[in-house]
Structure 1
Amino acid sequence: MEQKQKSELTKTLILNESFKLFYKNGFKTTSVDKIMKTTNLTKGAFYHHYKSKKELGIEVISAIVQKRVYDGMIRPLYQGGDALHLLESTFSGRLKSFSLYDKQHGCPMNNFINEIADEEEAYQIALKRIIEEWKSALIHLLERGKQENSINKDISNTAVAIYLISAFEGVRGIRKLYNDDLILDHYMCGLTLYLNQLKP
């Protein structure tokens, strides 16, 4: 195996295993030593690829967390079809797709926001980029819905987008407190009621 390819595989291993550890145990409590023990790599291998845990954290957010949000919550919004139906199917479908592990551990992005976003501007920038991309996709879909007369033209696209993101992230966090999905069922009922109010 070429050295360059081996180096890339090592970096990918560190990135993926770090995400799993951050998601399970939290960013602050996961040490570089713990990451190296999990990957069976040396500290030298870590510092060859990353200057610090902070740099690794930013890459985990930008490479893994952002992709998760994009694949699950942003890309589906650009599909064709009725805008309101697309909103409901994207949000409720994503909730239904989560494993029990995902439900028990909440949203990785939200976990990062709650744990470290107020400490470093670099973390804020990386996390805000995800929120802004999600918000833009929602605004785009809502505007399309207005043009197609499936959404009330008087609503604020930005306000609705922020509300939808906040409610979704909120219920992901609250679900960690419970042992069943009843709160998710109530959220989805509330989502349907809210979206019905957006009709012309």
Structure 2
Amino acid sequence: MAYKHTNRYGGVLSVAVKLEEISAQREQTPIWHFHKHFRNADEGEPTRRKLLEAAFEEMHHMGFQAASLSRILKRTGVTKGAFYHYFPSKKDVGYAVIEEIIRLALFEFWIKPLQKGNPIDVMIAILAESGQRMTLDDIRLGCPLTNLSQEMSPVDEHFRERIETLYSEWRTGLENALKRGQKLKQVKNEIDCEATAIMLIASLEGCLSAAKNAQSRTMLDKCGDSLVHVLNNMRAKE
């Protein structure tokens, strides 16, 4: 299915890649809530899934260290005993949020779409969708993965390792997509794909962090424009 979209990040995009897994649910879904449409092997445990989603929301709004178990239980209607049946400690639910909520959303939103199509087109399409769906509240809250990295990586090695696993998978996904693009003569051969993947993720997370601190959509849009310009300059000449 060709993906066609008009946006502020470069006019009309036509991307020959299936993005239904992401875009079908976007119409009414805030950017950081996409995880609600990505299901893991957890479907047989609705109570556990409910706790995970509530913990994600609590951590995203308050940070992990300020996250309140009582608010999670109140939001879900689950008893404390039931919570500890699934998660022995607060840290365990935090680890599960990273490994099961954020990881799956990252895969479905960024990594999976880049397994097909022209990687430059696909990345620009993802940026365009993100920009259009990003609400002011989304900007205020910032990226869940970046937030946890900044808060927890310096103080908890187990958090840091899990967060780094996600960043590593993301970098590898972008690197592999760029290498595939080089083989298909879509991406310039002189580009170092590993270094470029590192730069793109760091730039994207930096855009989100700067916009979060400034509480500014304008800043996010300008940063998005610059990222698209960088991506377009990576195209191989026809």
Distance 1:47 1:83 in 2: 43
Identify, as 1 or 2, the structure richer in helix: 1
User: Could you say what secondary structure the match of 2:191 adopts?
Assistant: coil
Name the CA distance, whole Å, in 2 between partners of 1:112 and 1:70: 18
> By how many angstroms is 1:158 displaced?
0.7
Aligned to 1:22: 59
- Offset of residue 83 of structure 1: 2.7
Moved more, 33-42 or 56-65: 33-42
Give the whole-Å Cα distance in 2 for the aligned partners of 1:163 and 1:44.
45
On the 8 A contact 1:18/1:35 being kept in 2, the answer is yes
Find 1:141's aligned residue among 177, 180, 195: 177
Instruction: Report the count of equivalent residues.
Output: 194
Cα distance in 2 for partners of 1:95, 1:127 equals: 24
- What's the counterpart of residue 78 of structure 2? 41
| TM, length-normalised to structure 2 | 0.75
- Does residue 113 of the first structure (1) align with residue 149 of the second (2)? yes
Report SS of the residue matched to 1:88.
helix
Q: Report the residue type matching 2:61 in the other structure.
A: K
Q: Distance in 2 between matches of 1:21 and 1:13?
A: 12
Distance of 1:100 and 1:70 partners within structure 2: 24
Report whether the alignment pairs 1:100 with 2:122: no
The structure richer in strand per residue is: 2
**CA offsets per residue over residues 78-119 of structure 1, 9 Å max, x none?**
122x33222222233223222332222111111110111222
Which of residues 87, 112, 124 in structure 2 aligns to 1:75? Answer: 112
| Cα contact 2:58–2:68 (8 A) shared by 1 | no
SS at match of 2:112: helix
Show the counterpart of 2:69: 32
Moved more, 35-44 or 57-66: 35-44
TM-score (norm 1): 0.88
Higher mean C-alpha deviation, range 169-178 or range 17-26: 169-178
- Please provide the CA RMSD for this pair: 1.9
1:33 shift after superposition: 2.5
1:124 CA drift (Å): 1.7
Change (3 A) 1:72 1:95: farther
Secondary structure of 2:45's aligned partner:
helix
Distance 1:187 1:92 in 2: 12
Contact 1:91 1:168 in 2 (8 A): no
Q: Any gaps of 5 or more consecutive residues in structure 2?
A: 1-41
Query: 2:92 is matched with which residue?
Result: 55
Counterpart Cα distance in 1 of 2:184 and 2:50: 46
- Tell me the CA shift for residue 179 of structure 1: 4.2
The equivalent residue for 1:167 is 203
Deviations 1:16-74 (A, max 9, x none): 11111111111111122232233233221111111100011000111111122122221
- Following TM superposition, where does structure 1 have runs of at least 4 consecutive aligned residues deviating by more than 4 angstroms? none
What's the % identity of the aligned pairs?
Answer: 29
Alpha-carbon displacement from aligned partner over 1:94-153 (angstroms, at most 9, x marks no partner): 232223322221111111101112222221222112111111111111111111222221
SS in 2 for 1:140: helix
Structure 1 residues 148 and 49, CA gap change in structure 2 (3 angstroms): same
- Tell me, in whole angstroms, the C-alpha distance in 1 between the residues paired with 2:154 and 2:146: 12
Equivalent-residue separation in structure 1 for 2:109 and 2:162 (angstroms): 18
